[in-house]
A = this chain, B = another copy of it.
């Protein structure tokens, strides 16, 4: 396989002027990342700052309601409330050891922005966060948290004013500030080496979950492993160590938006086509002429017209199943998990939970392990407006 590719997908489709920092990063992945110093510090940070291992939780009430065994991998319990911190601490530490002062990031739901702000504060660095103007409004609590931690927030007014545009602007900023700045990419997408680097930091999810599940189920594996797919970082983290387990079905859940015909959605694996965006060849929502389409999901973190290249590959090879869940189904799952188990999931993660609810017939008697990628506190405002 060509370097930086997952089958036909991936690559490094970015301006030459961004190649030097990417090459520098690739080198750091080869030298710093495997070093004992990095590994020790990172492992300690995950334990002592993030609170890892995150537990797995059995959901007795919903399991009974649905006639299956529902388990959650609790990334929502991580410091700052989502899986994003696994990645930002990893990249942050790497950047620090590379001699950078600034962590630059895009954010959709604000969770990656918050997690970057945390990493920057912890590592005594500066955080600069690009966020679409639309997302700034709909994820106000996270904006407050980032500011409080001293991050500089840049409101992105171009395009659809969501994640895609925030990435565009962040890439531009990186181009200009590459000497002092590490672009702390928030998901397992973008140009090589980001998809690999982010997976490296997120694979801890399945590393832990697989062992925890087996410990609590006499060595058995779950029948189905589920995660929501925005850019794909929590999903690839949740899938990674299960990929060799052929009996385990891997399900990635994309956002179908309202589900109304003619409306925007965020499901490039479902009905996108191959193309190039944000440095990678992958499945995209685009016109026949290659113009990127606006996306929509009630979950800001899923609201993206592209997807990480490894998911495009897992889909192409048949190892991963990718399905969609619409806004209403996600909201239903959000409420169900809150009321029946006392766990308020992020709207993003609610898409994964909704999979179990909507597919309960085919899942009868099966055990389903879902990545609860984040907590839903940030989403109460969105729900308030709708309910």
Stretch at the interface among A5-13, A53-61, A172-180: A53-61
Q: Please report the C-alpha to C-alpha distance between residue A338 and residue B117 in the assembled complex, in whole angstroms.
A: 9
Nearest residue in B to A381 (C-beta to C-beta)? B144
Contact among B57, B148, B343 for A339, CB-based, below 8 A: B148
A380 within 8 A of B: yes
For residue A74, CB closer than 8 A to chain B, the reply is: yes
* Cα–Cα, bound, A55→B121 (Å): 19
Complex Cα distance A231/B58, Å? Answer: 33
Q: Is A357 an interface residue (CB 8 A)?
A: no
Spot the interface stretch: A32-40, A43-51, A254-262.
A43-51
Question: Quick check: is A280 within 8 A (CB to CB) of the other chain?
Answer: no
B47 touches A122 (CB 8 A): no
Check if A77 is an interface residue, CB within 8 A of chain B: yes
A150 closest partner in B (C-beta): B339
- Residues of chain B contacted by A119 (CB below 8 angstroms): 342
Q: Give CA–CA (A384, B144) in the complex, Å.
A: 8
B77 and A51 within 8 A (CB): yes
Closest residue of B by beta carbon distance from A46? B55
Known: A51-B51, A56-B48. A141 touches B380 (CB 8 A): yes
In the complex, what residue of chain B is closest to A71 when comparing beta carbons? B48
Q: Tell me if A344 and B145 are in contact (CB < 8 A).
A: yes
Q: Are A122 and B342 in contact (CB under 8 A)?
A: yes
A383 interface hit (Cβ, 8 Å): yes
Q: Are the C-beta atoms of A145 and B377 separated by less than 8 Å?
A: yes
Pick from B57, B145, B340: contact of A48, CB below 8 A: B57
B380 pairs with A341, CB closer than 8 A: no
Q: Is the CB of B342 within 8 A of A118?
A: yes
Residues of B near A149 (CB, < 8 A) are: 338-339, 342, 344
Query: Does A335 belong to the interface (CB within 8 Å)?
Result: yes
Shortest CB distance A8–B (Å): 39
**Pair B61/A55 contact, Cβ less than 8 Å:** no
Kindly list chain B residues whose C-beta atoms are within 8 Å of the C-beta of A58.
Answer: 48
Q: Does A307 contact B (CB under 8 A)?
A: no
> Across the interface, do A124 and B61 meet the contact criterion of CB distance under 8 Å?
yes
Is the Cβ of B55 less than 8 Å from the Cβ of A47?
yes
Residues of B within 8 A of A56 (CB): 48
A sample of 29 cross-chain residue pairs with beta-carbon separation below 8 angstroms, ordered by A number, consists of: A47-B55, A48-B55, A48-B56, A48-B57, A48-B58, A49-B55, A49-B57, A60-B124, A61-B121, A61-B122, A61-B124, A77-B78, A118-B342, A121-B339, A121-B341, A122-B341, A122-B342, A124-B340, A141-B377, A144-B380, A144-B383, A144-B384, A145-B344, A148-B335, A148-B338, A148-B383, A149-B338, A150-B338, A150-B339
Residues of A within 8 A of B (CB): 47-49, 51, 54-58, 60-61, 74, 77-80, 117-122, 124, 141, 144-145, 148-150, 335, 338-344, 377, 380, 383-384
